[in-house]
C-alpha cells in the first residue's frame, strides 16, 4: 500500500470506521431477522438485502472517516499538544487537503445513502452536518459535544435498520440507546484524558468546567446505566440467550474500565478498556441474532 493511501486511512481512523460500518450491518441483520420472523402478520418478507447492506457499510465507513478528518482539521493546535503523531500536526497531510478530503467523503457517503432510500439519505445528511458542527463548535460545548458523539455512534444501528424504513428504526432503538450511553461515557473519559492540552488551548470541556472528579463520576453513572440496561434486548425478544451470556462479559469489561478510572485514576487505560468492552458488546449483538 502506498504511503499516501496509508496516511489518508490513518486520517480517517479506518479501524474505527470499520467498527462503525460493521455495527451498522449488524443493525441491518438484527432488523431483518426481527421483521422477517415471528407471526404471519410480519410486515417484511424476502431475502437478506446484501447489496444495500454493502452500501450501508460503505456509507458509514465514508461518513465516519470524513468526521474524523474534519475533526483533525479543526483540532490542529490542540492535537499538536495532545496527539502530535497524527497526520496533520506531524506534517504528513496539509490541513487544507484534509478539509477537502473530508468534504469529498461526506458528499460521496451522503449520495450513496440516498441511493438506498430517502430515510438512509436523510440520516446520512443530518449526521454529516452534525459532524461538521461538532468539529467547528459543539466539541467546545461541555456535555452537548459528548452527547452528540453518543448519538452519532448509536445512530449506526438505526442507519443499518433504516434499509427497511421507519419500522426497522423502531425495532433497533434500544441498541441505539445502549451504544449512545456507552459512547457518551467514554467521550467524557477521553476529555479527562485530554485535559492538559485542552486547558492550554483554552478549550471548554466538561472536566475543565466541573473538574475531573465530578466529570469522572458522571461518566461512571452513565456507563453503569448502560450496563444496567444491557439485558433489555434479550427481555424485549430482540436478541437471543447467547446475547445475554456474552454481554455479561462485555459488562465485566465496563466494570473493569470504571474501576480503572475510580481506583487507579487512569483515564487513558479506562478509555482503552471501554473500547474493548464495546467490541465485546458488538460480538454479543451478532451472537444474539
Ligand X SMILES: CC(C)=CCC/C(C)=C/CC/C(C)=C/CC/C(C)=C/COC[C@H](O)COP(=O)(O)O
Ligand Y SMILES: CC(C)=CCC/C(C)=C/CC/C(C)=C/CC/C(C)=C/COP(=O)(O)OP(=O)(O)O
Q: Which residues bind ligand Y (CB under 6 A)?
A: 20, 59-60, 63-64, 67-68, 71, 75, 123-124, 127, 131, 134, 139, 149, 152-153, 155-156, 159, 194
Binder among 28, 64, 68, 71 for Mg ion (CB under 5 A): 71
Asked if 10 touches Mg ion (CB under 5 A), the answer is: no
Binder among 282, 283, 287, 289 for ligand X (CB under 6 A): 282
Buried/exposed 200-232: b ≥16 CB within 10 Å, e otherwise: eeebebbbbeeebeebbebbbebbbbbbeebee
Residue 179 binding result from Mg ion, ligand X, ligand Y, none, given CB thresholds of 5 to 8 Å by partner type? ligand X
CA distances from 60 to 56, 124, 197, 269, 273 (A): 6, 8, 30, 27, 24
Asked if 193 touches Mg ion (CB under 5 A), the answer is: no
Hey, is 230 helix, strand or coil?
coil
Asked if 203 touches ligand X (CB under 6 A), the answer is: no
DSSP class per residue in 5-45:
HHHHHHHHTHHHHHHHHHHHHHHHHHHHHHHHSSSTT-S--
Asked if 155 touches Mg ion (CB under 5 A), the answer is: no
Hey, is 103 helix, strand or coil?
helix
State the minimum distance, in angstroms, from the CB of residue 50 to ligand X.
Answer: 21
Q: Which stretch binds ligand X (CB under 6 A): 37-45, 99-107, 128-136, 226-234?
A: 226-234
Asked if 53 touches ligand X (CB under 6 A), the answer is: no
How big is the chain by its Cα radius of gyration, in Å?
A: 19
CA distances from 28 to 24, 132, 141 (A): 6, 26, 33
Do residues 113 and 99 touch, judged by C-beta distance below 8 A? no
State the minimum distance, in angstroms, from the CB of residue 45 to ligand X.
Answer: 28
CA angle 142, 144, 149 (to 5 degrees): 115
State the minimum distance, in angstroms, from the CB of residue 178 to ligand Y.
Answer: 15
Binder among 28, 102, 127, 153 for ligand X (CB under 6 A): 153
Contacting positions for Mg ion (CB under 5 A): 71, 75
Report the interface residues with ligand X, using CB under 6 A.
16, 19-20, 23, 64, 149, 153, 156, 178-179, 182-183, 187, 190, 226-227, 230, 247, 250, 278, 281-282
Amino acid at each position: 500500500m502506498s504511503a499516501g493511501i496509508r496516511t489518508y486511512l490513518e486520517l480517517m481512523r479506518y479501524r474505527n470506521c470499520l467498527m462503525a460500518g460493521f455495527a451498522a450491518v449488524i443493525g441491518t441483520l438484527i432488523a431483518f431477522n426481527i421483521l422477517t420472523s415471528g407471526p404471519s402478520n410480519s410486515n417484511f418478507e424476502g431475502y437478506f438485502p446484501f447489496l444495500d447492506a454493502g452500501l450501508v457499510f460503505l456509507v458509514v465507513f465514508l461518513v465516519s472517516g470524513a468526521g474524523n478528518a474534519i475533526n483533525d482539521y479543526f483540532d490542529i493546535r490542540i492535537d499538536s499538544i495532545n496527539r502530535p503523531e497524527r497526520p496533520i500536526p506531524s506534517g504528513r497531510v496539509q490541513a487544507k487537503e484534509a478539509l477537502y478530503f473530508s468534504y469529498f467523503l461526506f458528499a460521496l457517503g451522503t449520495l450513496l445513502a440516498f441511493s438506498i432510500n430517502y430515510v438512509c439519505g436523510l440520516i446520512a445528511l443530518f449526521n454529516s452536518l452534525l459532524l461538521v458542527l461538532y468539529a467547528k463548535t459543539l466539541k467546545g460545548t461541555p456535555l452537548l459535544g459528548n452527547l452528540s458523539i453518543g448519538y452519532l455512534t448509536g445512530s449506526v444501528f438505526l442507519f443499518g435498520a433504516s434499509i427497511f424504513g421507519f419500522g426497522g428504526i423502531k425495532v433497533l432503538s434500544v441498541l441505539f440507546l445502549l451504544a449512545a450511553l456507552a459512547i457518551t461515557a467514554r467521550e467524557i473519559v477521553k476529555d479527562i484524558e485530554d485535559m492538559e492540552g485542552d486547558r492550554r488551548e483554552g478549550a471548554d470541556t466538561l472536566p475543565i468546567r466541573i473538574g475531573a472528579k465530578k466529570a469522572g463520576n458522571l461518566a461512571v453513572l452513565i456507563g453503569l446505566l448502560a450496563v444496567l440496561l444491557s439485558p433489555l434486548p434479550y427481555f424485549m425478544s430482540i436478541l437471543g440467550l447467547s446475547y445475554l451470556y456474552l454481554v455479561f462479559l462485555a459488562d465485566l469489561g465496563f466494570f473493569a474500565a470504571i474501576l480503572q478510572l475510580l481506583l487507579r485514576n487512569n483515564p487513558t487505560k479506562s478509555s482503552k478498556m471501554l473500547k474493548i468492552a464495546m467490541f465485546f458488546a458488538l460480538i454479543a449483538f451478532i451472537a444474539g441474532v
